[in-house]
Amino acid sequence: MKKMGVMFAASILAITLVACGGDEQPEQSEEVEGEEATSEEAEVEQESTYNTDDIPEVIATVNGEEIDNELYIAYLQQEVQSLTMQGVDLESAEATSFIEGTKKQLLDYMVDERIILQEAEKEGITASEEDIDAEIATYLAQYQIDESELEERLSEQGITMEEIRADFEAPVIRNKYIDQFVSVPEVTEEELQTTYDEIVASASQAEEETEIPSFDEYREELENYLVAQKQQEELGALLEKLREEYEITTFM
C-alpha cells in the first residue's frame, strides 16, 4: 500500500513558516531583554500548539491505501496557531467547536485528495519535469523568493531540492485531473450583477466604510470567483459519487 504525495503540504507549510518568519528582528541591547523575548516566544509557541497525542498514526485508508497523520497534524497546528494569533482562548467553547469542525473538514479533505490522486492514476495522468518546474515557479512567485533562497531554506531544514520536487508532483497531478474532468462553466451577466449587488449591500451594512470598485472594475474578479465557485460545486458532486464507489475507512 503506497503513500502518494502525503508530504507535499507538510513540506510547503514548513517552508512557508520559515518564509513568514524570515525578516530580521531588531537586536536586543540588553541580555535580559533577549532572555525575556526568548521566554515570550517559547510561551507563544507553547500556547499555539494543540495536543495531537490522540490522533492515530494512520487516520484513514482509501481502497487500502493509508493516509498517515503527518500532513493532517501540520494543517491542524496551522489552524490552531491562527486562532492563537487572533487572541482566541483555545480552552473556550468557541475554539473547541471550531477545532473539532476543522478536524472533520481536514479528514474529509485528505480523503477526497487521495481519491483524486487514485482516479488520476487510473487515467494515466502524470506530472512531467516541466509541469513540476512550472508549479515550483508559481510557488516562488507567490512567496517572492528565488530558487537559490528556497534551496537554502530547505537545506536548513534538512530537505533536498529533489525531495521538494517529488512533493510538488501530487498537486500537479491533482490540477491536471480537475482540468480534465471538471468543466469551465459559463457565468451569466445576471449572476455577475446579482453577486455584485450582494457585495455592495453587505458593505453598506458594515460598520466601517468600504470603497467598492465599480461593476466594470470588479467584473473580472467577480467572474473568476463565480467560475471557481461553480467548479468547486461540480468537483464536490463528482467526489460524492466517487466516494460511493470507494472503500473508505476512517480511524478518527
Which residue ranges make up each domain of the chain?
8-181, 185-252
Helix residue ranges per DSSP H, the chain: 8-20, 31-47, 70-85, 93-122, 129-143, 147-156, 161-167, 169-181, 189-205, 215-245
Kindly state the average pLDDT of the residues 190-200: 95
Integer Rg of the chain from CA? 22
* Model pLDDT, residue 82: 87
Bridge partners, 170 (sequence order): none
Residue 62, C-alpha cell as written in the block: 482509501
Q: What is the pTM of this model?
A: 0.76
SS (H, E, C) 116-132: HHHHHHHCCCCCCHHHH
Domain 8-181 bears CATH identifier 1.10.4030.10: yes
The whole-angstrom separation of Cα 178 and Cα 175 is 5
Q: What strands lie across the sheet with 58-62, from one edge to the other?
A: 65-68, 58-62, 248-250
Strand, coil or helix: 62 = strand
How sure is the predictor about 208, in pLDDT bands with cuts at 50, 70 and 90?
A: low
Task: Give per-residue pLDDT as tens, 26-72.
Answer: 344 455 455 554 554 444 444 556 788 999 999 999 999 999 998 89
Residue 170, C-alpha cell as written in the block: 501530487
Pairing mode, strands 248-250 and 58-62: antiparallel
Between the alpha carbon of residue 147 and those of residues 161, 167, 211, the distances in Å are 9, 16, 38
Q: Mean of the per-residue pLDDT values for the chain? A: 82
* Residues 6+ positions from 75 with CB-CB distance below 8 Å: 9, 13, 106
How many CA within 13 A on the CB side of residue 23?
Answer: 5
The whole-angstrom separation of Cα 238 and Cα 252 is 24
> Which one-letter amino acid corresponds to residue 158?
G
Kindly state the average pLDDT of the residues 173-201: 94
The answer, yes or no, to whether residue 16 has pLDDT greater than 80, is no
* Model pLDDT, residue 124: 97
The answer, yes or no, to whether residue 198 has pLDDT greater than 90, is yes
Backbone angles phi, psi at 184, to 5 degrees: -95, 105
How sure is the predictor about 176, in pLDDT bands with cuts at 50, 70 and 90?
A: very high
